[in-house]
Amino acid sequence: MKRNTLICFIQMILCYALTGAAQNFSDDMQLVGGDDNTVTVTVKAVAPKKKDAERLAVQSAFNCLMHSGVNGIKGGMPILSEAKKDYDYRLFNENRYIVYIIGKPETVSTKKIANNQQATVRLTINLAAFKADLKRNKQIFSPAWADAKAREATSALNPTIVVVPYTDSSDGYSFEAMRTRIENNPIERYAVERVAEAFQNNGFKTRDFIAQLQNSKNRSMLREGAQS
């Protein structure tokens, strides 16, 4: 009985320890410059102490790249398409991310917010080496970050997408029925354009349905002219 109680107590301690180790990463990150090999960013993070805020800002840069995405890099798409907690835990809690920082992170500014400190940190990341480590650890890359060979191998999983308006049995399911809905309803036309744009911004190839409609209409008019 005592042994079972001790095991439960140890499990509770481990659970609390892992929960306490979780970081509240910041997404307040701006691109300064870079290319496929290196990237320089500024990140803001808040913590009770200045040093903690600075460290959290640096860690947040890596978390953003992996899971949130950064405006100006690959259309804002994150490197990974899914998160694996075991890799993240080792990366941050064992300080493995440090080896991918070029030079020394620079604290641009700090300020007090309520009882906390906000730190703005500028750092440069060896992006090529970091991506290589992710690949070695069998992390799953998002379409925008996958290399050419990987994209070719998974082309069936990353098809060319055509966004079309919704039709039902009352409309019919033909190309002509879709064109009628688009031409008669500007809101549906706008919705189709915005959804297609969202796919493009996330690294997917799309085909312009509106342009296809117009081309189809032009071809039809030319055929009618030839017949007459």
Looking at the fold, whether 140 and 47 belong to one and the same domain comes out as: yes
- pLDDT at site 228: 42
Q: Contact at 8 Å (CB) between 78 and 142?
A: yes
| Residue 7 Ramachandran class (φ > 0 left, ψ -120 to 50 alpha, else beta) | alpha
Q: Is the same domain home to 85 and 127? A: yes
Query: Do 36 and 125 lie in a common domain?
Result: yes
Same domain, yes or no: 133 and 49:
yes
Q: Which of residues 116, 144, 172 is at a domain's end? A: 144
Residue 50's pLDDT is what? 95
pLDDT at residue 204 in the model: 72
Asked if residue 215 and residue 179 are part of one domain, the reply reads yes
Task: Give the residue carrying structure tokens 């405006």.
Answer: 71
pLDDT in tens, the chain (228 residues): 445 554 444 444 444 344 334 468 999 999 999 988 999 999 999 999 999 999 999 999 999 999 999 989 998 899 998 888 899 999 999 999 999 999 999 999 999 988 899 999 999 999 999 999 999 999 999 888 987 555 444 445 556 788 888 877 777 767 778 778 878 888 888 888 888 888 777 767 777 766 666 665 555 544 554 554
Q: For residues 121 and 194, state if they share a domain.
A: no
Q: How many H-runs (helices) and E-runs (strands) does the chain carry?
A: 8, 4
- Hey, what's the torsion of the CAs at 15, 20, 21, 23, to 10 degrees? 130
Domain membership of residue 13 (yes or no) is: no
DSSP symbols for 55-70: HHHHHHHHHIIIII--
Q: Which domain holds residue 201?
A: 159-219
Residue at 1 is within a domain: no
- Long-range contacts, 175-184 (Cβ 8 Å, 24+): 175/216, 178/209, 178/213, 179/213, 179/216, 179/217, 182/209, 182/210, 182/213, 183/213
Last residue of a domain, one of 87, 111, 144: 144
How many domains does one find in the chain? Answer: 2
Per the CB < 8 A criterion, the answer to whether 74 and 203 are in contact is yes
Q: Please indicate, yes or no, whether residues 137 and 176 belong to a single structural domain of this protein.
A: no
Do residues 189 and 107 both lie within one domain? no
164 and 95 co-located in one domain? no
138 and 35 housed in the same domain: yes
27 lies in the same domain as 129? yes
Which of the listed residues 144, 171, 199 is the one where a domain comes to its end? 144
Q: Are residues 140 and 166 in the same domain?
A: no
